[in-house]
Homo-oligomer: A and B are copies of this chain.
């Protein structure tokens, strides 16, 4: 892929979705899949599938489709998930605990190596995963020792920026923010925000326009 081509973020999101469907197809015993079927499973158009994959090369066989296992390997490489990534979670309330137990992270090579909180009643507690909750003031040290590359923020909104600053100070350049607030980071840092209510907006739009509620 020439460096000059900028890949749309929506394409990256869809690659991630294609990958999940390919896994399910493999599980169901499929060796090949047509772009029509993959598109249908992912609720996009076949042209979209071909365009998205076209950014990265020629993967399909005309009239036959894609090799289910090969295409998974290609997408893993494109998404750079063909290796493990260590992450830490700041804020161990209900949401932080839920993420820690979320089976999909480990299955996809994302490994939680440390959890942090500022509540003296929580610090030192051992989670079901075996991790002991660390004092958030130890974040910097833990990042270095445990090679944390991604920071997940599940604090209350008022503590989110403080947690982000601690990750940044420790040179963690990628943050997944679950806290319903805006956090400011320099350009060298990447933030993905997860706002559950955006999905509810999509549902209500569709309920109104597709179902007529």
Contact = CB atoms under 8 A, between A and B. Distances in A.
Given A10-B10, A94-B98, A94-B101, A200 B176 contact: yes
The DSSP consensus for interface residues of chain A is: helix
B174 A199 contact: no
| This protein's copies in its complex | 2
A40 to B, nearest CB: 12
A61 interface: no
Most chain B beta-carbon contacts within 10 A, residue among A16, A19, A203? A203
Contacts of A94: 94-95, 97-98, 101
Given A102-B196, A174-B206, A207-B149, A201 B95 contact: no
Contact of A200 (B9, B85, B203): B85
B98 A204 contact: no
Interface stretch (A30-38, A63-71, A187-195): A187-195
Contact of A85 (B20, B102, B182, B204): B204
Contact of A211 (B87, B105, B182, B190): B190
A202 B16 contact: yes
Interface residues of A, number: 60
Contacts of A47: none
A12 B197 contact: no
Contacts of A16: 197-198, 201-202
Contacts of A213: 149, 173
Top 6 closest pairs, chain A to chain B, by CB: A94-B98, A95-B98, A80-B208, A16-B201, A94-B97, A104-B180
28 contacts: A7-B209, A9-B202, A12-B202, A12-B205, A12-B206, A15-B201, A16-B197, A20-B198, A79-B204, A80-B204, A80-B205, A80-B207, A80-B208, A81-B204, A102-B180, A103-B157, A104-B180, A104-B197, A105-B196, A108-B197, A108-B200, A150-B200, A173-B211, A174-B207, A174-B211, A176-B196, A190-B210, A194-B194
